[in-house]
Structure 1
Amino acid sequence: MTEPVRVLILDDDFRVAQLHQGIVDDHPGFAVTGTVRSLAEARDSVRASRPDLLIADVFLPDGDGIALVRESGIDAILISAADDAATVRRALRSGAVGYLVKPFERRALSSLLDRYIRYRNLLSGDRALRQEDVDRALAILHGAGEPVSISRSATEQLVLAALGDGEASAAEVGERVGISRATAQRHLAALAARTVVEVRLNYGSTGRPEHRYAART
């Protein structure tokens, strides 16, 4: 089973940190390793647990979250009330994979997490990448998406119709639409990345958890 993306959350307001943790916890494939409130705590946690992703505020009581991203070399989503171009440019130069301006809707971080894990999966391993692989990964990360053909759009409409008002697995959707489970899974993942559908894990008594999908209302 693929290891989850380990996430460290850094925000000096514990209520905000808890909100961010709740969003991460709702996403299959992610696991919060801890929440910290200062740069000093964050540095200790980075050394101890080596997270894969930081979700960090920019302005903190003991320093600057952007500096932490630059020195740690870890993928990061920076979140701040700072909306000036200079701060955003500095954050992106540090290596941040995303920047959200407070306040933002829950779905903004949710969508960015969805795109990040797809981007990470595309660039995983040590295989040689083609230029189209790189272009596709960057397009996904930045929300540009992938070229959508007429046939794909039509299939996605059928997939959404098959979900109806309830929830279903990829296998169930595939059976209803008349496509393979793998094809249904691919379309459901694309819809989830655009926050058109929601995903939850159903843990059975044995085996791997099952992904269940439902259309957002």
Structure 2
Amino acid sequence: MNDSLRVLILDDDFRVGQLHRDIIDDQPGFTALEPVRSIAEAREGLRSSTPDLLVADVFLPDGDGIALVRETGVDAILISAADDGPTVRRALRSGAVGYLMKPFERRALTNLLDRYSRYRNLLAGERPLRQDDTDRALAILHGSGEPVSVSRSATEQLVLAALGDGEASAAEVGERVGISRATAQRHLAALAARTVVEVRLRYGATGRPEHRYAVRS
């Protein structure tokens, strides 16, 4: 799938919308579209821009964010000050992939975006899925018990775990972790620059050598 997931932000507070846009634009693999401030603008944005993900407030001046998600069927992260069970259950029934209660820290949103990206990568394409593929995708999306305060280096830790005691290519690491090859390559390059992993070359019969990565002992 495309490395960059396009995100439409819906919040009637202009400052909040811009803040969320900046957070999303700083997240590798995501591109924030211009925020919208009403249900009507969101419907138009969903039709014209076909984003991959909607990040929306629940209570809007002209309608209900949860109803919009249920109506359109778009993947969504819903954000609200509402902390009651019925609202959260209604949000999840609508198809939302995440629910954040205001106020929340920046890392709560970035961690949820990271999990969503890996979930999307695991379920990308038309290949038949095994049950453990589905179980793994759901576990990643819901955090597998990890708190939302996991730091930005969470993906790097998963990359290192995927390497284990052996060596692997960026494509192999991406498949194991549930991220794109380009994202795995970016993290591996950063780890190599810090000498956490080493790069090895494997020469085949023809073509350029394959880059293989291994954790430094």
State TM-score, norm by structure 2: 0.70
Query: 1:197 aligns to what?
Result: none
Change (3 A) 1:181 1:136: same
> Displacement, 1:180?
4.9
Query: 2:27 aligns to what?
Result: 27
Q: Report the residue type matching 1:85 in the other structure.
A: G
Question: Which structure 2 segments of 5+ residues have no match?
Answer: 147-155, 195-217
* CA distance in structure 2 between the aligned counterparts of 1:29 and 1:104, rounded to whole angstroms: 22
Change (3 A) 1:143 1:32: same
Q: Report the residue type matching 1:100 in the other structure.
A: L
CA RMSD of aligned residues (A): 3.3
> Displacement, 1:185?
5.8
Query: 2:170 aligns to what?
Result: 182
Shift >6 Å, 4+ stretches: none
> Displacement, 1:3?
4.4
Query: 1:112 aligns to what?
Result: 112
Residue identity (%) = 66
* CA distance in structure 1 between the aligned counterparts of 2:32 and 2:116, rounded to whole angstroms: 15
Change (3 A) 1:156 1:32: closer
CA deviation digits over 1:110-138, x for unaligned, max 9? Answer: 00000000000001111111000000000
Change (3 A) 1:178 1:143: closer
* CA distance in structure 2 between the aligned counterparts of 1:127 and 1:104, rounded to whole angstroms: 37
Change (3 A) 1:50 1:183: closer
* CA distance in structure 1 between the aligned counterparts of 2:63 and 2:129, rounded to whole angstroms: 38
The count of aligned residue pairs is: 175
Query: 2:151 aligns to what?
Result: none
Which shifted more, 45-54 or 135-144? 45-54
